[in-house]
Structure 1
């Protein structure tokens, strides 16, 4: 619907009414160009995008030079993006768009069967890689990554408390230097660096799982590109608090993308990508050398933590059971 240009709240009231009408006409004609799209959802999304983007230009009185700079910024994001460096994901993350999308799609108070609250979701991040090796329950996903040995255990259940057998649990993390394996130098043959700090396993029949890795470290997101320039211009820190990524899926259940954070990390309150949730901050408790879980003997100090995971029903399953989660 056309907005009356004389009362358009997105425009500075000091702008001449005739100028407002010209600017509104550009928006209206652009919106109308999507009216013949076959998909109603596509029309809705594109109309919203045009309305908000044009409103932003009008509200800020964006200059042509500033818009050219923005386009150059996006070009630089594309130029630096590779199969292992996802600058547009970083951009989405540091602008809070990733977490906002997660918030919209995981509404507070959504009804689900049972009385257990689904585990909170958080950002996916740019460092997931398909095809990580499988390890058995009790196995080690460090694959030589540097760091203090870390044992992670827990259960996977649905919201009714029933154990989820065979849930696929993908994990990935940085080593003690704050680097993911894909940030290391390529292999001698030019291929991907050796896999470290990532793998997948399946929960046992009773829903339990456990694996060895290393104590994660806080680290800066890649900030040698355009996203780093954006953060520097805002005097924002590029650091993320120490964490381990999880992606957990099971039949008839909604796939969970989340991670756990190390309690006491100095960057919990200033996470560069706004991904910290209190429910995901865990104690990683130091243990003495000696016998350890899964038949392992550790010669020096190690740490352990527990992360119990609750998966929500998939949207179809929730609708069948009367929920909307």
Structure 2
């Protein structure tokens, strides 16, 4: 029978017949930890009701371009923990980080060297890189999906009608040597959405909502593990206090100032401009 002392054991036993062993393991652990939490903090009925109301509001905030539950997972550090556990960097591979809540729009295919900036605002930037495996052999034809905030700290989906759809998004195909390059603008740091329950939570906790400036990059190819990572702008505010805990030292790069009219003309950029190079090391399936 159910009692306070043995509550977790009683409820966990109800899942003993779950056919899927992994589901049984997860549900049993969830019950054990949830009951321990309630007992540890001495949760009141009013607090329990407030928690249910918060989660309900979180679900109601979700739509086709915004996922408030992902945002909640992000600010609690759960997204980064899951990502880190499941994508441990080995053999010198590039570290992963969170996908974030704004990869809800398909990136348009673009040719190498194209610009992803459809507006023309911000400091022009050339992004170059190479996709290689742990043996530093190229991964030809790798798909390099990129998306970023603009110079004011907004994604296209946050400014519908104000900027073109798919602004600052692009899907590139690496060449035979695994190289990729494209034109963009230097991204700005920005706040995660604060007009929903997650923003209210941060406010109640006295936490700021800002993310350090970055470009999202997701790399995939046959025979390699898909990698989701960030390219962070060195010197950006909030590198040491990113709201979703996504910053890793190995992913921070200098966006160097370049004053070279010849190179600017070659890449179709105004002079001067900024430049960053980011080699991405992916893992082969079943190995490094």
Question: What is the TM-score of this pair, normalised by structure 2?
Answer: 0.94
| Deviation of 1:143 (Å) | 2.3
| Deviation of 1:294 (Å) | 8.1
For residue 91 of structure 1, the aligned residue among 65, 68, 72 is: 72
The reply on whether 1:286 has 2:261 as its aligned counterpart is no
What is the match of residue 195 of structure 1? 166
Q: Tell me how large the CA RMSD over aligned residues is.
A: 1.8
What is the match of residue 159 of structure 2? 184
| Deviation of 1:289 (Å) | 6.1
Does the 8 Å contact 2:88/2:95 carry over to 1?
no
1:210-221 equivalence runs, <5 A: 210-221=181-192
Alpha-carbon distance in 1 for matches of 2:272, 2:61: 40
For residue 225 of structure 1, the aligned residue among 191, 196, 199 is: 196
Does the 8 Å contact 2:66/2:104 carry over to 1?
no
What is the match of residue 103 of structure 2? 128
What residue ranges of structure 1 are gaps of 5+ in the alignment?
A: 1-20, 111-115, 319-324
The reply on whether 1:36 has 2:23 as its aligned counterpart is no
For residue 273 of structure 1, the aligned residue among 237, 244, 250 is: 244
For residue 31 of structure 2, the aligned residue among 37, 50, 57 is: 50
- For 1:22, what is the secondary structure of its paired residue? coil
Alpha-carbon distance in 1 for matches of 2:27, 2:122: 47
The reply on whether 1:68 has 2:43 as its aligned counterpart is no
Alpha-carbon distance in 2 for matches of 1:186, 1:36: 53
Structure showing greater radius of gyration is 1
| Deviation of 1:219 (Å) | 0.4
For residue 85 of structure 2, the aligned residue among 86, 99, 104 is: 104
- CA shift digits 1:228-276 (9 cap, x unpaired): 1111111111011100000001111110001011101121011000000
The reply on whether 1:261 has 2:232 as its aligned counterpart is yes
Alpha-carbon distance in 1 for matches of 2:227, 2:124: 25
- For 2:129, what is the secondary structure of its paired residue? strand
Does the 8 Å contact 2:144/2:218 carry over to 1?
yes
Does the 8 Å contact 1:139/1:211 carry over to 2?
yes
What is the match of residue 306 of structure 1? 277
The reply on whether 1:238 has 2:213 as its aligned counterpart is no
Alpha-carbon distance in 1 for matches of 2:272, 2:104: 30
- For 2:262, what is the secondary structure of its paired residue? strand
Does the 8 Å contact 2:113/2:267 carry over to 1?
no
- CA shift digits 1:159-218 (9 cap, x unpaired): 11110001000000000110000001348xxxx962200010011001111111110000
What is the match of residue 18 of structure 1? none
Does the 8 Å contact 1:291/1:297 carry over to 2?
no
- CA shift digits 1:38-94 (9 cap, x unpaired): 110001111111111111001111111101101100111111111111111110000
Alpha-carbon distance in 2 for matches of 1:63, 1:161: 56
Structure 2 CA distance for partners of 1:186 and 1:81, relative to 1, 3 Å: farther
Structure 2 CA distance for partners of 1:145 and 1:181, relative to 1, 3 Å: farther
1:241-252 equivalence runs, <5 A: 241-252=212-223
Alpha-carbon distance in 1 for matches of 2:281, 2:265: 23
Question: What is the TM-score of this pair, normalised by structure 1?
Answer: 0.84
Structure 2 CA distance for partners of 1:262 and 1:98, relative to 1, 3 Å: same
